[in-house]
Amino acid sequence: MAHILTLTLQIPTLKAMKLTTSISKAEKHGNTCIQVPSGLLKSIDLKMKRIIYLFLVLPFILFSCESTPEAHFLVNTDEPEVGQDVLFTNDSHNAKRFEWDFGDGYVSSEADPTHYYTATGTYEVVMTAFSKSGLSDQASITLDVKIPTLLEIEVVEWYEEYDVAGASVRLYPTLVDWEAETNMESEGFTDQDGFVVFSHLGPYVYYVDVWEQNHDNYTLASEDVANIRTPEIMPHKINRFVAWVDVADHSGKGESRRDKTLVIKKLERKTDDKSRDINETENWQTLYNKSIKLK
């Protein structure tokens, strides 16, 4: 009898223990009550912890997986002239943003910038490449900026040796182009002292065409091609050339002023027989500022 009583007392206790492991929906929905095993609750809790942990570490995972940027660039010349455009070609990898420091106080954020220098000297160009998240890498190059290549031409009348102002002076790459007036490199007009200056020329020989209302160099060219042909241009220096002209008729430039079939003659009148004092009082900066700049 005592054993039976003990069993009877234990049954309510077991029922009470089962109720403590259930989630009662009756409190939320009235009369419904659903029991959820404690093992399932533990599983859900563990999964939630894993999801929260994943959200916390995911940015660090993505950051660590991002490729490091590699900065690299090319230039069209490492010895540019003052005023010459330097073209920077970006060859970086894994980069989204760029910062350029040209070494002369100027900066840029363009991917492929163009820059020119206003003074001679040595400049270090530094490009910093950034990834999307802010990782960075740098590349650099040293540029040696030279004085511009200059050609100063003085137009002078042959016999009386006076300067001719307001004359058209054209540069051609070949004698054939000079004759046909094709492929002109550049054109400028002499100032009141008979001078015109060209800059950024290549290291070539040029053929000089001079025309003014009362003067030209066509007869001189037919007598000796040296009268219109410059020496080979020396880079990064001030080159000078005297363009001699004759007094011409007033029929204008064209067929009546020029025989298109050029016959080179060697007569007594030669450029070598003429000498001219060269005005070297102006420095290259002054000449460059008033020069016709070839592209």
pLDDT (mean) for 57-72: 68
150-272+279-293 maps to CATH 3.40.50.300: no
Closest to 195 measured CA to CA, from 156, 234, 149, 160: 156
Element (H, E) at 230: none
Q: How far apart are CA 110 and CA 92, in angstroms?
A: 13
- DSSP for 48-59, please give it: HHHHHHHHHHHH
Secondary structure (3-state) at 179: helix
Strand ranges across the sheet with 168-172? 186-189, 168-172, 207-212, 215-216, 238-247, 150-157, 195-199, 292-293
Classify domain 73-145 by CATH number: 2.60.40.10
Nearest CA among 185, 161, 194, 266 for reference residue 233: 185
The CB-side HSE value for 78 (13 A sphere, CA atoms) comes to 7
In 91-234, which ranges are continuous DSSP H helix?
175-180, 218-223
**What length does the chain have?**
295
Q: Write down the pTM of the prediction.
A: 0.69
- What tokens appear for 87 in the block? 């073209």
Q: Which backbone phi and psi does 268 adopt, to 5 degrees?
A: -65, -30
107 near 41, Cβ under 8 Å? Answer: no
Q: What is the pLDDT of residue 269?
A: 62
Flag whether pLDDT at 10 surpasses 70.
no
φ, ψ of residue 11 to 5 degrees: the values are -60, -50
- Whether residue 249 has pLDDT greater than 50: yes
**What ranges in the chain are assigned the alpha helix state H?**
2-19, 26-29, 38-65, 175-180, 218-223, 284-289
183 CB-near residues (< 8 Å, 6+ apart): 172, 173, 174, 177
Question: If we measure between CA atoms, which residue out of 139, 103, 107, 99 comes closest to residue 122?
Answer: 103
Is 183:279 a contact under the CB 8 Å cutoff?
A: no
Local confidence band at 67 (pLDDT 50, 70, 90 cut-offs): confident
State the span(s) of the chain assigned CATH 2.60.40.1120: 150-272+279-293
Q: What digits encode the pLDDT tens for the residues 31-53? A: 444 555 666 556 666 666 666 66
Residue type, 45: D
Where along the chain do the CATH 2.60.40.10 domains lie? 73-145
Beta bridge mates, 74: 89
pLDDT interval class at 5 (50, 70, 90): very low
Ramachandran region, residue 166 (left: φ > 0; alpha: ψ -120 to 50; beta: rest): left
The CA distance from 149 to 202, in Å, is 8
In a 10 Å sphere around its CB, with 0-12 CB exposed, 13-18 middle and 19+ buried, how is residue 261 labelled? exposed
| Of 65-74, 255-264, 285-294, the least confident | 255-264
For residue 19, CA distances in Å to 10, 28, 48, 50, 117 come to 15, 17, 25, 29, 86
Say if residue 4's pLDDT is above 70.
no
Q: Is the pLDDT of residue 61 over 90?
A: no
